[in-house]
Structure 1
Amino acid sequence: MEEIKVSPDYNWFRSTVPLKRIIVDDDDSKVWSLYDAGPKSVRCPIIFLPPLQYPVYWDLLEFCDGFRKLLDHLQLDKVHLFGASLGGFLAQKFAEYTHKSPRVHSLVLCNSFSDTSIFNQTWTANSFWLMPAFLLKKIVLGNFARGPMDPKMADGIDFMVDRLESLNQSELASRLTLNCQNSYVEPHKIKDVAVTIIDVFDQSALSLEAKEEMYKLYPNARRAHLKTGGNFPLPVNTFVKTSAARKHLQASLSPRQMPSFWFPWKPKVSWENVEEPA
């Protein structure tokens, strides 16, 4: 974890980019937290889930309604969504939720899924709110890789464990509930949304079947493959995250619509070329 937290890139970001806290619900305890980066002139920005932090919501409809209110508050008619793991599932559900009046221009889905039944926890989803925090953390940590691993992957896991420790019981229980309650993506409702799928070649919690299901769901999606990264490729390969977003947007937008990306450093990463589906 220290490797990431003391890195110049991480500290530059935390010291330069402001963290905003926004309330859009009637309940003042429901606070959205986001890092506001990029030029204000971009009216269709890309939003990353995470690090966008959402309040305690106990069902997907409630989350989607809250996210819609957030976009209204930010005066954003449409956005690009980059979602990792649960964030990717929530991004798909929001695109589905707004399909009659589209708010999502495109999706980048990293290590994500389309059906919560793959976790075999739908029968316990409604009881997470009763469980103590230590037990909820144990459930999450059970999916983390163990044993010898690449130092960067170990740093990524340590970083995410540290973030996990920052969540209180209700925050953790609500996220597990959203992750496991019985739900799936209805692809016909978002068939007009451009999609890029990013997968990791090495060990991750997602099964090969879950990845194949994503390919079937989005047969025309662009595909990117990372050689390493495990369950948390984004903390491990920060530049890959931005590179993937750039490649995706270049394929989805005209040059005039492209938001600018500024790299204050030149990291060395291994990026597999985007592969078109057969």
Structure 2
Amino acid sequence: MKTVFSAPGDYVHFKSQVPLHKIPIGTKQWRYYDFGPKAVPPLICLPGTAGTADVYYKQIMSLSMKGYRVISVDIPRVWNNTEWIQAFEKFLDAIDVHHIHLYGTSLGGFLAQLFAQHRPRRVRSLVLSNTFLETRSFSAAIPWAPIVSWTPSFLLKRYVLTGIRDGPHEPFIADSVDFVVSQVETLSREDLASRLSLTTDDASVGPLLLSDSFITIMDTNDYCAIPQQLKDQLGERYPEARRAYLKTGGDFPFLSRPDEVNLHLQLHLRRVGVEARPDLVHNIPKGDLGGSPSKESNEDDSDKSHEDDRGGSENSPADYDINPTPESSGSGNLDKQPLDNSECCHLDHEHALYALPGGFKGRTNIPGTSVHFMCHIAIFHLLHSISSLYIIWNYSLEFSQVV
């Protein structure tokens, strides 16, 4: 039976606070998040084949609150590496960003290196995680690569998902896999086909003008979809790069180990000269936070609901019942009424349940003065009945004495 994915609470909060931007640039549609002080050079996150801009939501929320600007983008529908470089440069021009720091995982790390190679003046530093230098091994592993653009959606999704390790995982890694799988379901056939085309396009990263001291390699030591041989090639290419090892984390450490990843990203940005601006971080209003409302709000809501109930009772015929009043003449009939026919019970400030000798009973909305008036009438009839009984008893006593 297929289970329904439930979005994590912090992701729901993220979606309520961070706007999603969608802009068309030429023939490309860009989908991205941009959060944090605009005065700070941004860290741009590039996802892998199975990722979207949403997979970096933990980095966006954490680093932006510390005073860093984080931009997370979806890889648009580009079909070769040259098209990617040109499209990404136009995107940066459109959002008015000139100097950037790139954080890429898997395919995103490969594309980050390509852009740094061909546009060296714009890239200030790189953070590479579980990525590679060339795509030759991937193109050889997919014999149907020439027709990937014609492949049905379900086959593309099956191929992408089979690259994620199956089997029992610890809870945090299992949650990260579930989240990424849910994001894959949102991708169209064209999105998946274009990303697989980038993966199978025979290309490799050439020498970079960027110094190794401005590169951080952050890999997980347990397992990931990228073969260890390709990860070793990356380390050999940048021997002086800073190494950040994660003992565990799987394919998506940015989701399963966000605290460690965020710490390494923060250390990298400090090392390459990015100064955080926590003074420019706008505090989120308390009322915008999720969670249970305050006690005062509950009391106000309950008062309003009671007022609504009272208001509705005025016009609702089901709230009261009017019985026909029996015909009566003189005080003799009043004397015959039982005492319990004259009652007045307060329900609250305005409601009363009352019964008069005339037979009127009901629960209605009447003013307080009317309630007191009804009580006086009931007391009057009660005293009148008692006096009548006393007179009858007195006459009976005198008659018995005469006899």
**TM-score, normalization by structure 2:** 0.59
2:133 alignment counterpart: 114
Mean CA deviation greater in 74-83 or 185-194: 185-194
Aligned pair partner of 2:254 in 231, 234, 237: 234
The answer to whether 1:259 aligns with 2:276 is yes
Please state whether the residue corresponding to 2:35 is helix, strand or coil: coil
What's the % identity of the aligned pairs? 39
The answer to whether 1:243 aligns with 2:260 is no
Aligned pair partner of 1:162 in 178, 182, 188: 182
Paired residue type of 2:263: S
**1:224 to partner: Cα distance:** 0.5
1:129 alignment counterpart: 149
The 2-side partners of 1:13 and 1:149 are apart by 25
The 2-side partners of 1:124 and 1:234 are apart by 31
Q: Is the 8 A contact 1:80 1:107 kept in 2?
A: yes
**1:164 to partner: Cα distance:** 0.6
The 1-side partners of 2:160 and 2:189 are apart by 13
Q: Structure 2 vs 1, CA of residues 215 and 37 (structure 1 numbering), >3 Å: closer, same or farther?
A: same
Paired residue type of 2:125: S
2:93 alignment counterpart: 72
Q: Deviation string for 1:137-165 (max 9, x for gaps)?
A: 11111211122221211111111111111
Root-mean-square deviation (Å): 2.2
**TM-score, normalization by structure 1:** 0.85
The answer to whether 1:93 aligns with 2:114 is yes
Q: Is the 8 A contact 1:129 1:170 kept in 2?
A: yes
The 1-side partners of 2:259 and 2:92 are apart by 26
Mean CA deviation greater in 85-94 or 141-150: 141-150
Aligned pair partner of 1:149 in 169, 178, 199: 169
Q: Is the 8 A contact 1:47 1:81 kept in 2?
A: yes
Please state whether the residue corresponding to 1:134 is helix, strand or coil: helix
The 1-side partners of 2:176 and 2:34 are apart by 23
Q: Deviation string for 1:15-64 (max 9, x for gaps)?
A: 11111112221x2xx2111111001222x211111321132110111111
2:242 alignment counterpart: 222
More helix, by proportion: 2
**1:123 to partner: Cα distance:** 5.3
**1:109 to partner: Cα distance:** 0.6
**1:189 to partner: Cα distance:** 4.4
Q: Deviation string for 1:75-102 (max 9, x for gaps)?
A: 1111000111111111111111213xx1
Paired residue type of 2:36: G
2:46 alignment counterpart: 49
The 1-side partners of 2:225 and 2:164 are apart by 8
The answer to whether 1:104 aligns with 2:101 is no
Q: Is the 8 A contact 1:83 1:110 kept in 2?
A: yes
Q: Is the 8 A contact 2:132 2:231 kept in 1?
A: yes
The 1-side partners of 2:33 and 2:208 are apart by 32
Q: Deviation string for 1:198-226 (max 9, x for gaps)?
A: 10011211222111101111111101111
